[in-house]
């Protein structure tokens, strides 16, 4: 099923000629179908090599081609929600030749990035932002447009024409938000719809409905969309119905309420998508998202329509590559894989921190039925799948709704349960106020299992988990923990589940370090005691204070330093909050203190340790924070980025050795 075109034709004839959206404008639908097949081959081959979001992209090949054929990017703005499905858009907007660098250090981003191309109208990465952003762009366009000048350039257009539904011309800049049904589970999408639906501005929302989020989509909106799916597919006649309805007087006119209600009844009778219609959008669909003529028909129709429009497009995640069609979940985001079998090229058998958390949680959950888990659409990535299977009634997937997830967990805790919210560090940013206002203020015992903390790697700027310590540590009542290895993660989960207040445990996307590092320094791991750090080894003159999994690097750096005649002490912070006051007193006796943390330098553990140290009378150590600078950290492998920012063992050892000789 896959690689049809290449195998039959030997090469991707059409795709080779596509370097800009202009190149597809004149292609007839049949040629677009061939191009779609070539693009699928290209996508599968490339992503098999680089890894990336394959299944979502395979689902939107025809939709992307149709959008670029009907609309004029970059004049018309296409905003991709999340943006993980923007690969085809990248390929046909001049980035095909760099596609092999996707998600690599200094390569193409895996998400839309305005700095990368004028065709990337708005940067995305986190879900459900597209409608709000599109509305902002549409309003900016409207304000730019003076009452008498149409954006087509024609002057002295009577203001009633420039604003009415039969405006000067259809050349006005269009703004299009493309959002998936998964992303429609996020509340922000409804804030955008609610605002846009009443705005009467020109905005087109394309709802790409593949019935999947990363996993199966959840919730009432998903059920509503399913109900729409069962209706007849989009008919060109709907356009006709709309024009009849539009000839009827608009709401608020002086004509009789009788006509108004007849119009409303007609709408209910003739049109699906009542929810969207009620929100002020004109609903078109459902339309087959793999049928290019149908897509071209509906898009060229809605292009001429004024006001907010929603087009409901049905697609199949993974379309055209058998393995991805069969397992869209696994092919949502994949590493390099073998095209024929679909199997991963490298299978890592060592447990990750996610695996360690998952197993430890299952142990607790089987003896404590008060433990419940909450995820915002990431049961797989956060390691909650086994819990979901074994304790379905105690497992809650709330959709892509991190804020709701946290407040919901606060309610569960208030109701006497022990909720564990498993969430990625960068997505918890969404729920900052919920952590503060709903959990911490009431000192509720919610456990935050923060995965993908620190560097996330290939997903880049939007997904780096390096701000969690800054946004959690200043919240009263919060306890923040960072384990140095897998065993300590288990011990910290034990601690967190018995602590009577909110606790966050943060760990990275990495293979769990084993306790071998303790053995290497002849230290035994001590039990977790509230607010206490751990001494790994005692030296002289200088102290390395490591946060969480930076410990492996700290120990490797210490080995290099010892070879150079230095004798560093090593401490494991364990508690990012509260800061251990005994540790602070001990550190005051060193000449140099180095804090190693895989977070943003501003607002991290180091900042707070420094504050505590300077408050001690007579303390004099020189203090150095080795963390990420005040910039957004690009995509790349974790190893490459640690090296680039001199936070690998060699970089740290070099910095320490230089600093102490100054």
Contact region with ligand TPP (CB under 6 A), list: 11-19, 79-87, 148-156, 593-601: 79-87
CB 15, CB 68: distance < 8 Å: no
Q: Which is nearer to ligand TPP, 81 or 173 (CB)?
A: 81
Strands (E) in 203-281, as ranges, are 203-209
> HEC states along 106-142?
CCCCCCCCCCCCCCCCCCCCCCCCHHHHHHHHHHHHH
Nearer to ligand TPP, 213 or 553 (CB): 213
Residues 213-232 that bind ligand TPP (CB under 6 A): 213-214
452: left (phi over 0), alpha (psi -120 to 50) or beta: left
Residue among 113, 430, 509, 608 flagged as catalytic? 430
Stretch of 174-182, 295-303, 490-498, 610-618 contacting ligand TPP, by CB under 6 A:
174-182
Stretch that binds ligand TPP, among 211-219, 344-352, 485-493, 640-648 (CB under 6 A): 211-219
Q: Is 393 a catalytic residue?
A: no
Per-residue tokens: 51: 């890894």
DSSP 59-114: HTHHHHHHHHHHS-TTTSEEEESSSTT-HHHHIIIIIGGGGGGTTSTTS--SS--T
User: CA 134, CA 115: separation in Å to the nearest integer?
Assistant: 18
How do 479-481 and 575-577 pair as beta strands? antiparallel
Angle value at C-alpha 29, between 46 and 310, nearest 5 degrees: 85
Closer of 303 and 463 to ligand TPP (Cβ): 463
> Using CB under 6 A, which residues numbered 298 to 337 contact ligand TPP?
317, 332
402 or 580, CB closer to ligand TPP?
402
Q: Supply the angle between the helices 649-661 and 551-563 in degrees, to the nearest 10.
A: 50
Residues 6+ apart with CB under 8 A from 544: 554, 557, 558, 568, 569, 570, 571, 594, 596, 652, 656
Q: Which stretch binds ligand TPP (CB under 6 A): 10-18, 25-33, 210-218, 337-345?
A: 210-218
Pick the piece of the chain touching ligand TPP (CB under 6 A) from 89-97, 206-214, 494-502, 538-546: 206-214
**How many residues of this chain bind ligand TPP (CB under 6 A)?**
24
Residue number with CB closer to ligand TPP (399 or 486) = 399
Min dist CB 149 to ligand TPP, Å, is 37
Least Cβ distance, residue 215 to ligand TPP (angstroms): 8
In whole angstroms, the minimum distance from the beta carbon of 225 to ligand TPP comes to 10
Give the one residue of 86, 127, 373, 407 binding ligand TPP; rule: CB under 6 A: 127
Q: Which residue has the tokens 């709704």?
A: 401
DSSP 232: P
| Residue with Cβ nearer ligand TPP (318 or 486) | 318
Pinpoint the alpha helices (H) of 304-344. 322-326
Is residue 160 part of the annotated active site? The answer reads no
Listed in sequence order, the residues at least 6 apart from 92 whose beta carbon sits closer than 8 Å to its beta carbon are 18, 20, 21, 23, 24, 39, 64, 65, 68
In angstroms, what is the minimal distance from the CB of 57 to ligand TPP?
8
Contact of 107 with 205, CB cutoff 8 Å: no
Tell me: does residue 183 bind ligand TPP (CB under 6 A). yes
In the complex, the smallest distance separating the C-beta of residue 657 from ligand TPP, rounded to whole angstroms, is 41
SS (H, E, C) 533-558: CEEEECCCCEEEEECHHHHHHHHHHH
Please give the order of strands across the beta sheet that includes 175-180: 77-80, 175-180, 203-209, 308-314, 282-288
Q: Catalytic: which of 38, 402, 490, 597? A: 402
**Residue 427 sits in the site that holds ligand TPP (CB under 6 A):** yes
Question: From the CB of 70, what's the least distance to ligand TPP, in Å?
Answer: 21
Alpha helices in 340-477 (DSSP H): 353-367, 385-390, 402-414, 425-428, 432-433, 468-473
Q: Which of 107, 123, 180, 604 binds ligand TPP (CB under 6 A)?
A: 180
H/E run at residue 284 = strand 282-288
Q: How far is the CB of 452 from ligand TPP (least distance, A)?
A: 10
Among 50, 85, 201, 473, binds ligand TPP (CB under 6 A): 85
Q: Which residue has the tokens 């109900």?
A: 227
Report the candidate in 269, 145, 268, 135 with the shortest Cα–Cα distance to residue 205. 135
Quote the least distance from Cβ 34 to ligand TPP, whole Å: 24
Residue of 63, 66, 135, 212 that binds ligand TPP (CB under 6 A): 212
Interface with ligand TPP, residue 577, by CB under 6 A: no
Give yes or no for residue 400 binding ligand TPP (CB under 6 A).
Answer: yes
State the sign of the Cα–Cα–Cα–Cα dihedral 391, 393, 396, 398.
Answer: positive
82 binds ligand TPP (CB under 6 A): yes
Nearer to ligand TPP, 434 or 574 (CB): 434
- Single out the residue of 113, 126, 172, 404 in contact with ligand TPP (rule: CB under 6 A): 126
Per-residue contact flags (x/-) with ligand TPP for residues 405 to 424, judged by CB under 6 A = --------------------
Stretch that binds ligand TPP, among 94-102, 205-213, 220-228, 285-293 (CB under 6 A): 205-213
Instruction: Let me know if 430 is a catalytic residue.
Output: yes
* Residue 465 touching ligand TPP (CB under 6 A): no
Residue number with CB closer to ligand TPP (5 or 183): 183
| Pairwise CA distance, residues 453 & 461, whole Å | 13
Q: Give the interface segment with ligand TPP, choosing from 254-262, 371-379, 522-530, 602-610 (CB under 6 A).
A: 371-379
Among 218, 221, 365, 377, the residue binding ligand TPP under the rule CB under 6 A is 377
Assess contact for 508 and 549: CB atoms under 8 A.
Answer: yes
Q: At closest approach, how far in Å is the CB of 212 from ligand TPP?
A: 4
Is 283 within 8 Å of 294 (Cβ atoms)?
A: no
Sign for the pseudo-dihedral over CA of 157, 163, 167, 172: positive
Calculate the CA 440 to chain-centre distance: 25
Report if residue 210 touches ligand TPP, rule: CB under 6 A.
yes
Catalytic residue (choose from 96, 317, 329, 509):
317
Nearest distance from residue 451's CB to ligand TPP, in Å? 12
Query: In the complex, what is the shortest distance from the CB of residue 463 to ligand TPP, in angstroms, rounded to a whole number?
Result: 8
Which residues from 554-573 bind ligand TPP, rule CB under 6 A? none
| Choices 193-201, 222-230, 376-384, 605-613 (CB under 6 A): range interacting with ligand TPP | 376-384
First to last CA, the chain: 65
Yes or no: say if 346 and 339 are a contact pair by the CB < 8 Å rule. no
- Residues marked active site are found at 317, 402, 430
Footprint on this chain of ligand TPP (rule: CB under 6 A):
56, 59, 82, 84-85, 126-127, 180-183, 210, 212-214, 317, 332, 376-378, 400, 402, 427, 430
């Amino acid at each position: 099923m896959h690689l049809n075109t290449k195998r039959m034709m030997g090469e991707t004839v059409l795709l080779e000629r596509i370097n800009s959206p202009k190149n597809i404008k004149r292609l007839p639908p049949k040629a677009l179908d061939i191009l779609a097949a070539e693009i699928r081959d290209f996508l599968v081959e490339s992503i098999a090599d680089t890894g990336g979001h394959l299944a979502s992209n395979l689902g939107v090949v025809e939709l992307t081609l149709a959008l670029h054929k009907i609309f004029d990017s970059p004049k018309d703005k296409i905003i991709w929600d999340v943006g993980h499905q923007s690969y085809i858009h990248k390929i046909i907007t001049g980035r095909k030749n760099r596609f092999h660098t996707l998600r690599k250090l200094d390569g193409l981003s895996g998400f839309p990035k305005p700095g990368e191309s004028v065709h990337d109208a708005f940067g995305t990465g986190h879900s459900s932002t597209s409608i709000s952003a599109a509305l902002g762009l549409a309003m900016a366009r409207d304000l730019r447009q003076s009452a008498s000048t149409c954006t087509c350039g024609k002057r002295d257009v009577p203001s009633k024409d420039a604003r009415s539904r039969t405006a000067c011309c259809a050349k006005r800049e269009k703004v299009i938000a493309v959002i998936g049904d998964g992303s429609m589970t996020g509340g922000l999408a409804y804030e955008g719809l609610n605002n846009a639906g009443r705005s009467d501005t020109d905005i087109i929302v394309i709802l790409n409905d593949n019935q999947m989020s990363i996993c199966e989509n959840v919730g009432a909106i998903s059920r509503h969309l399913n109900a729409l799916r069962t209706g007849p597919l989009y008919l060109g006649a709907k356009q006709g119905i709309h024009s009849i309805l539009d000839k009827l007087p608009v709401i608020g006119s002086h004509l009789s309420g009788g006509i108004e209600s007849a119009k409303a009844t007609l709408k209910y009778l003739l049109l699906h998508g009542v929810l969207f219609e009620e929100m002020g959008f004109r609903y078109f669909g459902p339309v087959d998202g793999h049928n290019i003529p149908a897509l071209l028909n509906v898009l060229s129709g809605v292009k001429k329509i004024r006001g907010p429009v929603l087009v409901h497009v049905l697609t199949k995640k993974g379309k055209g590559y058998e393995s991805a069609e069969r397992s869209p979940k696994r092919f949502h985001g994949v590493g390099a894989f073998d095209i024929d079998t679909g199997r991963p090229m490298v299978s890592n058998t060592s447990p990750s921190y996610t695996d360690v958390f998952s197993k430890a949680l299952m142990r607790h959950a089987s003896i404590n039925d008060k433990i419940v888990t909450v995820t915002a659409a990431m049961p797989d990535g956060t390691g909650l799948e086994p819990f979901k299977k074994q304790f379905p009634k105690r497992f809650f997937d709330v959709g892509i709704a991190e804020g709701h997830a946290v407040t919901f967990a606060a309610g569960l805790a208030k109701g006497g349960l022990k909720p564990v919210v498993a969430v990625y560090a960068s997505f918890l940013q969404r729920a900052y106020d919920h952590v503060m206002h709903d959990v911490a203020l009431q000192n509720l015992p919610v456990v935050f299992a923060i995965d993908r903390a620190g560097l996330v790697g290939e997903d880049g700027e939007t997904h780096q988990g390096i701000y969690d310590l800054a946004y959690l540590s200043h919240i009263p009542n919060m306890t923040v923990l960072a384990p140095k290895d897998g065993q300590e993660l288990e011990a910290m989960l034990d601690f967190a589940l018995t602590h009577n207040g909110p606790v966050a445990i943060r760990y990275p996307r990495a293979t769990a370090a084993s306790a071998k590092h303790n053995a290497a320094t002849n230290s035994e791991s001590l039990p977790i005691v509230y607010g206490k750090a751990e001494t790994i080894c005692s030296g002289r003159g200088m102290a390395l204070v490591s946060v969480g999994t930076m410990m492996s690097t700290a120990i490797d750096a210490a080995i290099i330093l010892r070879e150079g005649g230095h004798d560093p002490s090593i401490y494991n912070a364990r508690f990012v909050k509260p800061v251990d006051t005994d540790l602070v007193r001990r550190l005051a006796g060193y000449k140099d203190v180095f804090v190693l943390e895989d977070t943003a330098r501003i607002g991290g553990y180091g900042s707070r340790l420094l504050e505590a140290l300077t408050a001690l009378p007579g303390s004099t150590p020189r203090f150095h924070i080795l963390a990420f600078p005040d910039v957004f950290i690009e995509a790349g492998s974790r190893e490459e980025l640690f090296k680039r920012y001199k936070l690998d063992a060699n970089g740290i050892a070099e910095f320490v050795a230089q600093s102490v000789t100054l």
